[in-house]
Amino acid sequence: MTQTVGKVYAEALFELAQEMHQEEKVWRELGQITDLVEQEKGFARLLDVPTMSAEERVGVLQKVIGTEDGITENFLCLLCERRRFGHLSEIRSAFNKLYYDAFGIAEVAVTSAVPLTASQREALVKELEEKLGRRIRLQEQVDASLIGGLVVQYGDTRMDNSLRTRLAQFRRQA
């Protein structure tokens, strides 16, 4: 079975983070850097310029993220040297899965017609934690076209309790 570049690199990074007992630190730093790179698309393209040497790419990276000698920084430099920086989002996704599995966290996407209040969010998280038996990391989105209710997505499971869907079902039955 072949593995993707992202998964191979994520597994190596996660294993190293575990050995150093820095899983959370690496998870947080990898997320911050990936968010930055996704906001500044030109940065990732710059690091993939074929005419730049590995040393030049690493130098540019270190100017942006700093020169702290940590696991994440060394890993990012390795990606630059091996011309794999373009796989950063894929690596982050695979690393997140490993991190969440290791620490019993479920990533749940919830879409609502209006932003959830703090008490609604708290109640939803509590209910999901009881149902799934895991800690919940909630990803919230707002979609006014739902009219009301929620759509909750966890892995391959989708629970659509939106007013829009219920109205559509009512129309089909009528």
Q: pLDDT tens-digit profile of 15-68?
A: 999 999 999 999 999 999 999 888 987 887 888 778 888 898 888 888 887 756
71 and 144 in a single domain? The answer is no
The answer on 24 and 86 residing in a single domain is yes
Ranges assigned E (strand) in 123-171: 135-142, 149-154, 157-162
**Domain span at 35:** 5-100
* Same domain (yes/no): 133, 95: no
46, 71, 100: which is the final residue of a domain? 100
Nearest to 151 by CA among 174, 124, 119: 124
For 147, left (φ over 0), alpha (ψ -120 to 50), or beta? left
Q: Which residue do the tokens 């009512």 mark?
A: 170
What pLDDT score was predicted for residue 47? 81
From 50, 78, 100, give the residue that closes a domain: 100
Look at residues 67, 100, 133 and tell me which one is the last residue of a structural domain: 100
41 shares its domain with 76: yes
128 shares its domain with 164: yes
pTM: 0.78
The predicted pLDDT at position 167 comes to 87
Decide which of 101 and 43 is more confident.
101
Q: 67 and 12 share a domain?
A: yes
Specify the number of domains making up the chain.
Answer: 2
**pLDDT for 27:** 96
Write the burial class of residue 11 (CB in 10 Å: 0-12 exposed, 13-18 middle, 19+ buried): middle
* CATH number, residue 47: 1.10.520.20
Place of tokens 């191979």: 8
Same structural domain for residues 42 and 65?
yes
Asked if residue 157 and residue 84 are part of one domain, the reply reads no
pLDDT score, position 41? 78
- Residues 11, 93, single domain; the answer is yes
Task: Assess whether 10 and 96 both reside in one domain.
Answer: yes
